[in-house]
Amino acid sequence: MLAYRHLFHAGNFADVFKHALLVRLLVALARKEAPYCYLDTHAGTGRYDLAHEWAWKTREFENGIGRLWDRNDVPAALAPYLDAVRSENPKGRLRFYPGSPLIALKMRRPGDRVVLVELNRKDCAELEAAVARERHVAVHHMDGYQALKAFLPPPERRGLVLLDSSFDRSKEFARIARALKEAHQRWSTGIFAVWYPLMAPAAMRGFERDVQKTGIGNILRLELLVRKRDAETAIPGCGMLVVNPPWKFEAEARPLLDWIWRALAPEGAGGVKVDWLVPEVRPAGRRRPSPSDSL
């Protein structure tokens, strides 16, 4: 039984963080002409009505997209994300928030393929309706972890997997580390983006260790904290692990997240962290080309 419904949280600070980074990953994939595949293992409903009573019950969007909606000074790297949200609200008033599937569909090019997976039957039906008019998109009512086994590696051999679990099971961190290991064994060159909430330090250390033990190299960790860690009610922050981040992604993400943090945490609580959880592992004798190679 899946109790989690994303409509309670749609457009909150965690969605802004996740979707802003998702857009940068998709922009990077589009720099090469060859088509890519985007696999969303926990897709949600695709579109969220922020006027719905569930969204109003928590009003989490007010401290997320609500803080960016009227800004006209956003950095260029954030513009495609805000354009995606604005295109859902052509009348100029914030009402609908696009989830990761709709954002990916807005960013993809004609030959790129989108695969969406959602386990909640009702949410999956809503998702199907939300993308019904789109081409080259498949919606599957199934377990996202099974989808990793079923759909990887994709025939395109390039692309991105977003693993955006609702964390409604106590052992979700361990499950994600296992799933990531298996998925990476199937497709070692794919980009994997894994969203996670910042929980108690012991849980985070356990996750860090489990991911390091997978033996996967080249994992960038990005975290955003918008409240003091001792805040009791809600999660104080969230993070994303990116396996095989594209070229320039790290350099773009740092200033982008700093800007987002200043916009979402004007009281100055928390901050941003970007570091390598696991540095790139390269076969002996091979090294990354340095700028001086071309001199």
Annotated active-site positions, please?
A: 164
Classify residue 292 by its DSSP letter: G
Interface stretch with ligand SAM, choices 41-49, 83-91, 198-206, 284-292 (CB under 6 A) = 41-49
Among 86, 89, 106, 166, binds ligand SAM (CB under 6 A): 166
Q: Quick check: 54 binds ligand SAM (CB under 6 A)?
A: no
Q: 38-55 as b/e, with b when 16 or more CB fall inside 10 Å?
A: bbbbbbbbbbbebeeeeb
Q: How does DSSP assign 257-268, residue by residue?
A: HHHHHHHH-TT-
Residue among 215, 231, 214 at smallest CA distance from 269: 231
Report the nearest approach of ligand SAM to the CB of residue 175 (Å).
9
Q: Quick check: 2 binds ligand SAM (CB under 6 A)?
A: yes
Q: Quick check: 238 binds ligand SAM (CB under 6 A)?
A: no
What angle is formed at CA 110 by the lines to CA 146 and CA 136, rounded to 5 degrees?
35
Report the nearest approach of ligand SAM to the CB of residue 144 (Å).
3
Report the nearest approach of ligand SAM to the CB of residue 17 (Å).
11
Pattern of binders to ligand SAM over 137-156, x per CB under 6 A? Answer: ------xxx-----------
96: which 2 tokens?
């609908």
Q: Which residue is nearest to ligand SAM (CB)?
A: 99
Helix axes of 172-186 and 201-213: crossing angle, nearest 10 degrees? 20
* SS3 per-residue string spanning 193-243: EEEEECCCHHHHHHHHHHHHHCCCCCEEEEEEECCCCCCCCCCCEEEEEEE
Q: Quick check: 120 binds ligand SAM (CB under 6 A)?
A: yes
Among 7, 23, 24, 42, binds ligand SAM (CB under 6 A): 42
Distances (CA, A) of 238 to 40, 102, 194, 200, 235: 18, 22, 11, 12, 8
Q: Quick check: 197 binds ligand SAM (CB under 6 A)?
A: no
Interface stretch with ligand SAM, choices 35-43, 182-190, 210-218, 245-253 (CB under 6 A) = 35-43
Q: Which are the contacts of 200, defined by CB distance < 8 A and separation ≥ 6?
A: none
Q: Quick check: 26 binds ligand SAM (CB under 6 A)?
A: no
Tell me how far apart the alpha carbons of residues 131 and 66 are, in angstroms, rounded to a whole number: 25
Interface stretch with ligand SAM, choices 28-36, 38-46, 76-84, 177-185 (CB under 6 A) = 38-46
Report the nearest approach of ligand SAM to the CB of residue 182 (Å).
14
Among 60, 112, 126, 164, binds ligand SAM (CB under 6 A): 164
Please give the residues from 80 up to 119 whose contact with ligand SAM meets the rule CB under 6 A. Answer: 99-100, 117-119
Q: Which are the contacts of 241, defined by CB distance < 8 A and separation ≥ 6?
A: 192, 193, 194, 196, 211, 219, 220, 221, 222, 277
Among 4, 8, 54, 69, binds ligand SAM (CB under 6 A): 4
Q: Which residue matches tokens 């960038």? A: 220
Q: Which amino acid is at 66?
A: G
Nearer to ligand SAM, 195 or 278 (CB): 195
Report the nearest approach of ligand SAM to the CB of residue 180 (Å).
14
Query: Which residues are at the interface with ligand SAM (CB under 6 A)?
Result: 2, 4, 6, 18, 40-44, 99-100, 117-120, 123, 143-145, 164, 166
